[in-house]
Structure 1
């Protein structure tokens, strides 16, 4: 008798494990970079929609009636003492997107925001659209806080790398202890000290406003010099505290790298210490700092509101405080939407750029 092989049963696993040869999945498997970008961008859109939705419902559920605030403002400014009629109130509610139930308000708001970029009228500058009020304040915030954040990051990265590289030295210990003591001091507290010293005691720098009111705004040397003079104190308060924070984080990343074998090998080859620091040690430290800096750019005006208030600086922080005081929901939502968009966009760009900066970061498969 001859033994026969047992019959085999086709389970279809070969078809499941085999990669597709055509269609979207096949194209994405052949282009991992594009597949990674598409997946990440889709996740970005979902996160953006969810964050904007939460912000809308959060502010619309706040107590208070912005229409009554507007009516009171009109009465004060235009000596309008008559009781506003129901028709006028209804027209204002429709104009500000406050008529109907909460769901209908949300749908109308998202439709205007997505299709037209319209936030509705601003209560603090009625009938000017809220997006125009925000766009007038946005360059001041970017010019002051954005540049200050970049300077603080560059200085903190450089000084932190030196402090970690020369750990144990007197200068490194002094810098580290100062950073620990001052990195968590609020911006506005440092701003108050700077104002007292340089504005009131010495009289070298102005204490309030963004430029000299006697100079016409424009691209003239006088106006640019006035901008730098008036922005020095608020910018310096942000740069000082921000720099100390970046020094600590960079030093923390630098110290564990110093014992790596590739640094010992580079030193044995006779490379100069400065070259080893900048080309080898610092290269493995700045990648996490790039990620942290990109995220922090989305918060350039969060936490610095009091600095703008203290110096009467016409930025987004001042606009936000004024809008909250008058229950201007459209302007509040607009500023919040910009913050949400900035943070999520910064994270998206970092996720797309980090695999190009560091080959150890792999794309999704």
Structure 2
């Protein structure tokens, strides 16, 4: 077993080809201006630092405090795509006035705050507002910032196709700044922009929003998009027993978004019919537990996994009956789930997500069969 693990490590290392060296921020700025360092516009939407955090980063540069490296992917033409370091590089570009795109227009010039060590930074910007106004940083400090050095870790094009996205995913989910799905969204754009737009649009379908009872916080963190992705993954991508749920969704995204992944028109029809039928039958109680007299409690992922997947796989039978019969069939199946032995055994509070998926997804179609 140990030899097998060693062989797996050696093989995985061959999939990732890297290099790295230090550069001045002035060199990084010039690469960006010359289009030799690319920041995907969707990544720019994730530029969330407030002015205080931006100021603290600029303070670190002025004080000579070491900053973490940035990670880039180098394509076959030598162009670098920023994988990690968005907040730091975008802060510098906003400060110097070199940040491009709609996000730059939205943000405007960066005006710094005072800090404990540098209180006189308050109100300072890269260039003075007019003439020799005292709100400019001045050439001496500008030069110091541009000469500050940062290490660049380079993932080369010889790496496996998935290495760029795997690296972005790992580097951007360790903190609280991005949710797992926000990272997946950025990856989806790089793989297949049409698929990304399609998934985002479906996540806003009225009956889907209603039945999944999404809060403003959930919407902000792309919870609806993740649920939409889960729906298609559960329907179309077999779950590998024991695989971490988020790794399963990452793998599913690669397969679904690939050029020959799915027929988006057909699957969109399945999606809308599934949630339209569920809303018609159950409304906003679609994924609440039946207590014997009413649907109560919070949204339950186990119910979403079984009911949404099961209904989608039984659409021909549900389409063949009248709307009234369909409503009754869906209602009865949803009410019967809590008392089903397989469902109750694999959906309790102490059941791991991996166990739940392994045991419930294969039987979802049967549990919801009319």
For normalisation by structure 2, the TM-score amounts to 0.20
Structure number with greater CO (CA < 8 Å, separation at least 6) is 1
Q: Which has the larger radius of gyration?
A: 1
